[in-house]
Structure 1
Amino acid sequence: MASAAVDHSGIRHAEPRISENILVMENKIATSINASESNLQPSPEEHIPAEESLSQGKITGTEALDKGYLKYGCSHYRRRCQIRAPCCNEIFDCRHCHNEAKNNICVDQQLRHDVPRHLIEKVICSLCDTEQEVQQVCTNCGVCMGRYYCAICKLFDDDVSKKHPLVCMMIFVEWLDQAQNVAWIMLHGKFGDIAHVVMVYMMGS
């Protein structure tokens, strides 16, 4: 309720409660500001810096590639795929598994054979069982089927500690097959880098 004040002229004036009105207005303004700030507050995802967001995406991709790492394979290779042998159309963990099975003493001698590894065209992902063309990454689940991979040898291996040759032996054999004088190459190869000798010979032929 407003209080009355008397001035020097003797006239009474109503005096509002100014302090209470100001307090109410301040509370309303503060409430309005808080509501506005809460609407502008970014979501938790928006708090993630751009670089961190990108790194999380990379981690997800790496996890997909590395899924099942060193958990699949055979006694010869740790890898995440099997091969379909072009010679007998059967599935094996690797070429060594094929050769051991097909050259077993229990197999008819006329039926024994080795797989022509360079003719292998199909592999089967060990994680999703998808059969596909020979390649390092599965087309279906995106897993890396072998950290070490040679498209010529059709070699997959998760054990990168093995010292695989830098020059694929299949290429080396092709050089020898194309050479007109294998004896010359082998003779000079005894005293130096035979791969280098073959390259020089082929370039000159």
Structure 2
Amino acid sequence: RVPIRMAEPKISTKVLSDTCDNEKLSETNEIEKGNAPNSGEKLCAHYTRLCKLKAVCCSKFYSCRFCHDDDNVHEMDRHKVQEVRCLKCHTVQPVAKNCISCCVTFGEYFCPVCRLYDVDREQFHCDRCGICRVGPKKNFYHCEKCNACLRNELKGNHKCVENNSKSSCPVCFEFLHTSRSGMQVLRCGHMIHQECLRSCFTQGLYQCPLCKESTTDMTDVWKQMDEACAAVQLPKELQDIKLNILCQDCHKKCEQLFNTEGLKCTHCGSYNTAQV
């Protein structure tokens, strides 16, 4: 058998992930070091901020919705949050960017809609997505059919799937629309986490988990498969056996001679086929 060799496919982010000046900088630096100023409270592992949000569902204070959801069987709706507590002076107050008591800035970036506080990562709020995204905004556009903010280079250059982002990652099952992890739009149009896709590649899996289309350009691999199939010597009784196959890349059916190494689509040349 001829060994099949494939270079590691390149993965690029295609969908966005969720998302007193001197005093502000010094306090933020302390948070980044894992220290809550004047407090022994547990810090947020997801965002860098100087306040906690009061969850309407249970009236408890949490650093963010992820911290809340990790500790509860119900989910927190951050859009309904009305009060925050300052981590420096502990004052409970209405949602705002700065503390009404000690004037500390809770986050370099603040979205009054999402109640999102964080360091400045060029975030922006997308009204059509309904959440904040990591920018810069000029590099992205909102695809109405996919219902997601995509990189500009994908405009008119990807296969749209209705409400694509309002689905779960086919590998880890996390809801993609509000995920903070980088995502990828596959050739077939489906979305998947970058890390999950990379894990698939590491295991030698190059098919979309949902529709089985190839997730990357397999041209070089198909050439190696051609060589492998050509080297096969079948016994005479198997040489004239023909099988009906379905190509999972071009979605066409054809008839192909039996081969132990693979069945090639006569339409597009793909070996990503299945017997029907």
Alignment TM class, shorter chain as reference: 0.3 to 0.5
Say which structure, 1 or 2, has more relative contact order (CA 8 Å, 6+ apart). Answer: 2
Name whichever structure is richer in strand by fraction. Answer: 2
Name whichever structure is richer in helix by fraction. Answer: 1
Larger Rg computed on CA atoms: 1
Q: Scaled by the length of structure 2, what TM-score is found?
A: 0.36
Q: Scaled by the length of structure 1, what TM-score is found?
A: 0.47
